[in-house]
Structure 1
Amino acid sequence: MIQGGKNLHVPIPENGRVIDLGCGPATWTMDMATDMSTVNFVGIDISPIFPTAIHPRNCSFFCENILTGLAKSQPDGCYDVVFQRNVSAGFTAQDWQTAVREAYRLCKPGGWFESVESDASVHDAGPKTTLLFDFMLRSMGARLVDPTAVRTLSQMMIEAGFVDVQVKEYSVPLGEWGGKLGQLWKQNIGAILETVTPHLAKAASKPDSHIREMVKDMMQNETKEHRAYQTIYVAFGRKPSSE
């Protein structure tokens, strides 16, 4: 919905190969494999939370860490598309450079890399919403994670060797003012804030109960009173065909 009905911005050839780096529970991977039965999809994640028994026949998974390299299971230049989404909450600036270089290695000559991320900022929000996201950024900073690195991802891709690099930005409404999409994004953000409440409390030097009350007020009031939104960045580029 955010991307106007797209699941991907780059072309996948018939009988091509696609790898999803940081696939998580593999919702995207399996949806794509179901829609494109002639394409081979591979999902990689550091946590084995992807399905091991029931999944499309053109879909397989490996439990590996993309930041330590995938050379043991994935040889150089074997994928038409390398895809990555929602990893910015765990990547340092150095991690991003490592991941982009690994994506370049995995791409076939002429293959594409696409990354979809939020920078964890919220705009035009109420005071409690703004403060909660500030606590989130502080918590990330304590782990040397800088989610704003996604704003310069296109430059990192160019430095790694990608060409035809483009960036598309999508504004995502947070709250009822954005219709169905805004309501779904509100549910998503609410679930995230609930999950990371202990981390936010530590960053704020407050008890967990204080953060929960802030989240409750945000969900019940501020998302209705303010036209808050976030930005999703989609960066994609191609490995030169001459390699």
Structure 2
Amino acid sequence: MKYTQRHSFDADHYVLSRSRDEQDRLNKQHEYITEAVFDGRLIFKNNTKVRPGMKVLDSATGTGCWILALSKEVDSSISLVGADISSTMFPDSHPRNVQFVETSVTNMPEKWTETFDFINQRFLIAALTATQWAVALKELYRVLKPGGTIQITELHSFNPVGEGLRKSGEVWKKFMSLLEEKGHLSDSGYRIKDFARNAGFENVEESVQRAPIGRRWGKLGEAGAENLKRGLRVLEPANIGRGGLENVNTCTKSQSLVECARQEWDNCEGLYLSVTVFTARKPL
């Protein structure tokens, strides 16, 4: 079942696409992050349990890949909700205990106040401005039950250095510039902890994990590099004509800067993305 709620923030701020290719990339990103960052788990902390009768929210669910994966691991009495500002990527079919709702993380339904026992959210660096991040954390706090837990996964950094990584550094610099141009926080991975505390959460913890990038790490590193490349290529059309990620004199005419960077990732040993998992609790 799908429901619609009034949108609260301007979707034009969202940098990425909602195409079929992007849906496929998000599904593969879920698999990669689950393995590389969560060690095969869906819930980061081992002592956090989802028990029968509980209610779980996947905020900014996208394709619903996380909530659908969770539905295969938990009791069918658990109510699972995937929420996103756009229903474009919602799956056509899903288990009976899973519901998808079109709503903004900055303006969730009033009836959800103190509804959920556990909330998951991943990668909104390309979606929220600084002001919206503060509002979003307050909304998550509102809809979480006292004693409930949130986990937020966000990009921390990817700062390749060295003579053999010039193009990679250029790609990342342009990506960060685009985010800042749109009003997003390029350093959201550093600031969510403060937003969470200001919203009222307690026991706010962060764990910075290394997600391997490049062929030197084996299949997992290859998957990470390919997903990163696809994510950055989504940005290319948005930058045409204004010094974006298109062909530059450091690449051949048939290559984009992103493709050049992808080659560097495969030839570099020990390259990784830093991903932060934040966990916090709403006081009783």
TM-score of the two chains, using structure 2 as the length reference: 0.78
Residue type of the alignment partner of 1:181: L
Kindly indicate whether residue 189 of structure 2 is the aligned counterpart of residue 150 of structure 1. Answer: yes
Matches within 5 A, 1:48-127: 48-51=87-90, 53-67=92-106, 69-72=107-110, 74-124=111-161, 126-127=165-166
Deviation digits for residues 38-65 of structure 1 (CA, Å, limit 9, x no counterpart): 3211011111134454111110011111
Partner of 1:25: 63
Deviation of 1:227 (Å): 3.0
What are the Cα deviations for residues 184-233 of structure 1, in whole angstroms up to 9, with x where unaligned?
Answer: 10010111122111234555x25834484322222234431353211110
> Partners in 2 of 1:193 and 1:53 — Cα distance?
27
Secondary structure of 1:89's counterpart equals coil
Counterpart of 2:10 in structure 1 is none
Residue 14 of structure 1 corresponds to 52
Structure-2 residue corresponding to 1:236: 279
Measured against aligned partners, the alpha-carbon deviations of 1:105-149 in whole angstroms (never above 9, x if no partner) come to 011010111100103533346110110010000011101111312
CA distance in 1, matches of 2:245, 2:213: 26
Q: Which residue of 1 aligns with 2:268?
A: 225
**Which sections of structure 2, spanning at least 5 residues, go unmatched?**
1-34
Give CA-to-partner distance per residue, 1:39-95, whole Å, 9 cap, x none.
21101111113445411111001111122x1124x4210000111111111111111
Rounded to whole Å, the distance in 2 between the matches of 1:6 and 1:169 is 16
Letter in 1 for 2:207: K
1:140-184 Cα deviation digits (max 9, x unpaired): 110111131221211221121111111111011210122222111
Q: Distance in 1 between matches of 2:172 and 2:133?
A: 22
Q: Aligned pair in 2 of structure 1 residues 190, 236: CA closer, same or farther (>3 Å)?
A: same
C-alpha contact 2:174 2:245 (8 A) present in aligned 1 = no
Report what 1:161 is aligned to: 200
The residue that corresponds to 1:130 in the other structure is 169
Q: Please tell me whether the aligned partners of residues 42 and 59 of structure 1 are also in contact (alpha carbons under 8 angstroms).
A: yes
Distance 1:130 1:226, change over 3 A: farther
Partner amino acid, structure 2, of 1:66: V
Give the conservation status (yes or no) of the 8 Å contact 2:156–2:208: no
Match of 2:233 in 1: 194
Question: Aligned to 2:147, what secondary structure does the other structure show?
Answer: strand
CA contact (8 A) 2:245 2:258 kept: no
Structure 1 unaligned residues grouped into runs of 5+? none
Identity over aligned residues, as a percent? 22
The alpha-carbon deviation at position 98 of structure 1 amounts to 0.6
State the aligned residue count: 238
* Cα distance change on mapping 1:206 and 1:162 into 2, 3 Å: closer
Moved more, 32-41 or 210-219: 210-219
- Residues 18, 40 of structure 1: 8 Å contact kept: yes
Closer, same or farther: CA 42–124 of 1 in aligned 2, 3 Å: same
Amino acid at match of 1:178: W
Native 8 Å contact 1:16 1:80 kept in 2: yes
Judge conservation of contact 2:119–2:144 (CA < 8 Å) in 1. yes
